[in-house]
Structures are given as C-alpha cells and as structure tokens.
Amino acid sequence: MWSEVGVRTAPQREAPAMDSFLKIEGLAKAFQPARPVFADVSFALARGEFVCIIGHSGCGKTTILNVLAGLDQASAGHVFMDGRELRGPGLERGVVFQGHALMPWLTVRQNIAFAVKSRWPQWGRAEVDAHVRKFVALVGLLPAIDRKPSELSGGMKQRVGIARAFAIQPKMLLLDEPFGALDALTRGSIQDELLAIVRQTQQTVFMITHDVDEAILLADRILLMRNSADTPGGYKPGGIAEVVVNPLPRERTRAGLHHLDGYYDLRNHIVDFLVTRALAH
C-alpha cells in the first residue's frame, strides 16, 4: 500500500529488489535470552542504492550495521552479499563509525595508506601515496596529512575515517552516523561530497542517521525502525516498521531540498513516526 508521499505504509517483509546486492533475512539479536533487541528484520539493497535507517536510541541500528560489517553475530537470520553469505569482516565493505577508530601512532597519510596497502598489496609506494592524497584532498585535509590523530579535532578525525573508507573503494559502505560530530558547515560539504562520489561510483550505502533531513537528502529509501517494548500482551522485539521510498528527484541538493514538492509531506511522515509510533506497539 502506498500513501500520497510515495510511502509504503504497511509493516512489511521487504521483497528482495530486482538486483538484490545485499539481502538480509530474518535477522534477530538477543543480548538477553527471550528479549531480543530486534527480530524478523528482513530487507534488501539493490546495487548502487543508498539506504538510511532511522530510529530512536537503543532500537538496534548499530547492532544491525555491525552484523552487516561482520563485526557482530546475529542470534538468528542471514546476510547475503552478491549471493554469498557473509561471515566476518572483509575489505569489500568499508565501515565508518561514530568514533573514527584511527590508529593513534600513525599520521593521517599512514592511517589511510595502511588500509590502501591491505586492499592492493601489489601497489608500489608512489601509487599508494597518490591514491591516499586524492582521498585526503577530497575531505579537505591535505594541510594535515602528516599529523597524528591527537593533533586533529574530532571533526577532522571523522573526515579521516571517511577518507579511509572511500579510499579502499569498497563494494558497500556502512556508515554509522558518520557526520554526527561535524559542525553544520563541514557536515553540509561532506554530505555533498559523499553524494557526488556515491552517484559517480554507483556505490551501495547503508547509513545510520538521526537527522531526518540528512536521510531525505541522501537516501533512496529510508528504513524506519521501532524499539522493543514491554506491552500488556508481553515483550515485543524491535524491528523495521516501515520502508519509506524517497519520492524526491534524485538530483536534489541540500540548498534546494526545502523547495521540492513532497519534501514537507515526507519529512512530516518520518517525524510523525519518530514521535508517535517508534516507541509504541
């Protein structure tokens, strides 16, 4: 069923897209027996698709992303990429966390070069360095390329993490609130850069955000996730409540977003979910 803003309103098990590059089936995670944080989570990403997931704190977004990254194991369910079941981490998936995760004893250049050398062990030094510089330039950090993480601001460290993830040109980018620590100006310009690279490279992206406008700008589809809850009928695990298809033109820009037909309907729909439905069952 579709509403007037192009929103699929019934809770659903997503039918896999035509070209299901990433397929998640019946995922559940329980840290305590009989009280899974979420259960029966199924969705698929097409190749080149940008999907954001939005939900309140604690609903399990990071846990899902960690499972997709191969850094955590689900209690039930399966994840397939390119038709193969994922087990453990791999260089075909690039991850950017909230807390940047850089090696503190290495400079910006060395942190990124380390990842690039792991990805292309046959590359010579000059080739690695040229590649590293390209991605450091992309996030505007060339002047800081030989600094260590302790000499960078939080936002700068986050940009290094983003450059590192892009530099290995993964088949799939997994982003956990990658812009959360950035000031509004930097955030805006990196969102633009991300969008440009993703469009250019047909990159497939799964991203967690708390920012509704960010999701509307970047995502082709937005997964709305509800929290687990104790109800009069018993414990209910969290899960994907709804999959919202972004009806706005793909060439949208940050500056023009608010003027597009359908923007406010879409925004109100998502905010309404967060306010009235995400925590209720």
Ligand X SMILES: Nc1ncnc2c1ncn2[C@@H]1O[C@H](COP(=O)(O)OP(=O)(O)OP(=O)(O)O)[C@@H](O)[C@H]1O
Shortest distance, position 199 Cβ to ligand X, whole Å: 27
Q: Which is nearer to ligand X, 96 or 113 (CB)?
A: 96
CA distances from 13 to 8, 10, 23, 113, 172 (A): 12, 10, 12, 41, 22
Stretch that binds ligand X, among 9-17, 57-65, 150-158, 239-247 (CB under 6 A): 57-65
Among 23, 61, 109, 221, the residue binding ligand X under the rule CB under 6 A is 61
Using the structure block, give the residue that is written with the tokens 């397929």.
23
How many residues are there in the chain? Answer: 281
Q: How many residues bind ligand X (CB under 6 A)?
A: 10
Shortest distance, position 76 Cβ to ligand X, whole Å: 15
Contact 172, 82 (CB under 8 A): no
**H or E segment at 133?**
helix 125-138
Phi, psi of 187 (to 5 degrees): -55, -45
Among 7, 39, 51, 59, the residue binding ligand X under the rule CB under 6 A is 59
| Using rule CB under 6 A, residue 26 touches ligand X | no
Among 31, 105, 235, 264, the residue binding ligand X under the rule CB under 6 A is 31
Residue burial 146-158, b: 16+ Cβ < 10 Å; e: rest? eebbeebeebbbb
Contact 109, 146 (CB under 8 A): yes
In angstroms, the CA 68 to CA 95 distance is 10
Of 190, 169, 172, residue with least CA distance to 181:
190
Q: Which is nearer to ligand X, 63 or 186 (CB)?
A: 63
| Using rule CB under 6 A, residue 60 touches ligand X | yes
| Using rule CB under 6 A, residue 226 touches ligand X | no
Q: Which is nearer to ligand X, 32 or 150 (CB)?
A: 32
**Do strands 204-208 and 172-176 pair parallel, antiparallel, or not at all (unpaired)?**
parallel
Q: Which is nearer to ligand X, 31 or 264 (CB)?
A: 31
Q: Which is nearer to ligand X, 55 or 94 (CB)?
A: 55
| Using rule CB under 6 A, residue 239 touches ligand X | no
Q: Which is nearer to ligand X, 16 or 60 (CB)?
A: 60
CB atoms within 10 A of CB 67: 21
| Using rule CB under 6 A, residue 63 touches ligand X | yes
E strand residue ranges, the chain: 20-29, 38-46, 50-55, 76-81, 84-85, 93-96, 172-176, 204-208, 221-226, 229-231, 234-236, 239-245
Stretch that binds ligand X, among 10-18, 52-60, 124-132, 138-146 (CB under 6 A): 52-60
| Using rule CB under 6 A, residue 37 touches ligand X | yes
| Using rule CB under 6 A, residue 215 touches ligand X | no
Shortest distance, position 177 Cβ to ligand X, whole Å: 7
Q: Give the interface with ligand X as residue ranges (CB under 6 A).
A: 31, 37, 55, 57-63
